[in-house]
Structure 1
Amino acid sequence: MIRLLTNVELYAPQYLGIKHVLMADSKIAAIFPPDALPELGPFIQVIDLKGDRLVPGFVDGLVHYCGGGGEGGFANRTPELLANEAAKAGVTTVVGALGTDSLTRTLSNLLGKCRELQAQGLSAYFYSGSYHIPLKTLTGSLESDLMFIPEILGVGELALSDHRASVLTLNDLVEIGKKTKTYASLAGKKGVIFCHLGDSPEQLSLLRDVIAHSDLTHQHFIPTHCNRNPDLFEDALQYGLEGGYIDFTTSTTQGLLDDGEVLSARAIKLALDAGIDPRLITLSSDANASLPRFDQHGNTVGVEAGRISSLFASVKQAHEQYAVPFDIALSCITQNPASALGLSSKGSIQEGADADLVVLSPDTLDIKTVWSKGQIIHECRTSLY
């Protein structure tokens, strides 16, 4: 099917003004200026968006789509993600992970759920490993996971500086990093280590040591939860100034904010004000993870679940309440995470990219229609599409 979306206000995510966008099957085939409509053949479906904003489908680098949690007992396990929850939130690309629990949640679960989400129209990937070492794997080794499972992008959610983490040494992380880089490369992938950061005082020190004492670079590490508390946030700002990615978690609760978590929308603004390269700032939802609160002894005192809808809500809040330019905020859930994860066909609207698109109301920024690989996966209104 060939479709021409006309009169769109295009954010690619950079602002490009009014354009016409041609989709052929699952790809962006061409982008035309407003005064240069191509000759239309009889098999091209024309859809006039009448000035609606068109933005890339959102890329969420941390989704516990098999559910997660369990801190405090089995009653606190969180449910699986439904594909329509992601679609409704404008998220067309999800990357799954195991967290604290890698016994009742497994990589086999992740693979099955990943392919379920793919069958329901999303682009889905996942990480090998979990919080702990030795790494849990699907095929028996990290090397073969990366080589033989197309959906595995790297290692995650590997826990650092957290009371639930394994005791990870410099050599441990260097070895994981080198294996990831080497065998991902052999499979034509970038290879990343997606690192969970907790409240322990080590903060980002181990990542700095790895980069200082090996040939691994910032490009292969994505530390998340960088807005978890004020001290970690300040350390993350310095890490960003050193050239590292910093990922802010959008799901939160009032209790976590009361405990000192930096609101993700505000974190974007503060990171930009600190002079960090905007391309290094990413957001992830931590959807369907448990969001536990702990007392000073590490005991669980409350648990809620992460929400995938928080991803774009944070972008809107950064723009509307913290005056972050819309294209800069939008890049944090499109082009930036796609680049960080090595997903070259995701996160931007350009010729040859996947036709992952979100139509927004120009006034309210409400999500109206979502396309994934050229197919509508969500509509909130009656249309002629």
Structure 2
Amino acid sequence: MSKYNVVAVTTNDYKRQAKQRLPNFLFDYIEGGANAEQTLQANTADFKRYTLRQRVMRDVSAVDTSTTLFGESLSMPLALAPVGMAGLFARRGEVQAARAAEKNGIPFTLSTVAICSSEEVQSATNQPFWFQLYMLRDRALVLDMLHRAAASGCKTLVFTVDLALPGMRLRDYRNGMLGGSTKGKISYLTQLFTRPGWLLDIGILGKPHSLCNLKHKVESASDLDRYKAFVESQFDPSATWKDIAWLRNNWSGNIIIKGIMDADDAKAAVDAGADGIVVSNHGGRQLDGVSSTIDKLPSIANSVGQQTKVLLDGGIHNGVDVVKAIALGADSVLIGRSWVYAMAAQGEAGVNKLLALYQQEIAATMGLMGVSRIEELNSDVIERFNQPFNNPLS
């Protein structure tokens, strides 16, 4: 039997299935990073630099993975990160992911550039979702989306601050997803017709493909080049922490600042009124050559962890990674690519199975470490392994 026909269990299993089902430009859009993708690779690889302490003969008969975050009771310290255009990876993808998150007792974060609107997600779920937003030049548009999110029951805003300029995601140009050349458009169309299942299920039956949170501002919002031009014209490189203070005055709910990679910036976020921060390099999709998020987490958590909630994204593929992040100072983590692979492979059912596995892995890891509660995960149960492994037999 081919290894690609095995039952999907892990993130990598779903990734292989997603690659078989998606047009190449879509798979590369979610899989890729900026420039040479060094930071993308480091986000995953650097988790291996940290090892857990194994403790035995402790009572772990009642391991509890639950936690509380921003007043919400969560089944585990994990949330679904915002992913742009997720509705192109499965039919009405944001709705499917939101339902899976709700079923598994964790938050779902809706992207500004989602296919499904905040109203559509609200109508399909019973629990409030989180909403992700950028600082756009058009402040009236920012306020409009804030009001719509609040009207949809959203109480937590995830504000992304690492997009003053768009990162150089070269895979998107190679695949013809962006750029507008004739050769690129031919490549783009060719890739569509190599995936007839996707073309029918999502390309045709999954319409409309408009970026619903922006469609009243963008003519032909389903045209990726028009969308790119509009969004890039709206990125505000002049934005400063004063704009976050303005945001704080216009949003009564929780504000999480996403895109923090420096302790001084973390302090500035707290001073500007943030209720939480996300240690994030945008999944390696913005500044290539920056450190991995897991390496930056301890210093940032030590700096502001007593004043605000600290979350982390980037490089998390399983429950062991989640445990390492919590032990290094995170209150919770966000996963992005992981849930999109599962959704692209098997829809809502795939996300449900993936999240159930995450919780099982977190519980098993904690138990084998002699830990029963999330609060017991701290620097005492983890250490950094700096030296490369040398095989004496080689």
Confirm or deny a common fold (TM above 0.5).
no
Higher RCO structure (Cα 8 Å, ≥6 apart)? 2
TM (normalized to structure 1)?
0.40
TM (normalized to structure 2)?
0.40
Which structure shows the higher strand fraction? 1
Which structure shows the higher helix fraction? 2
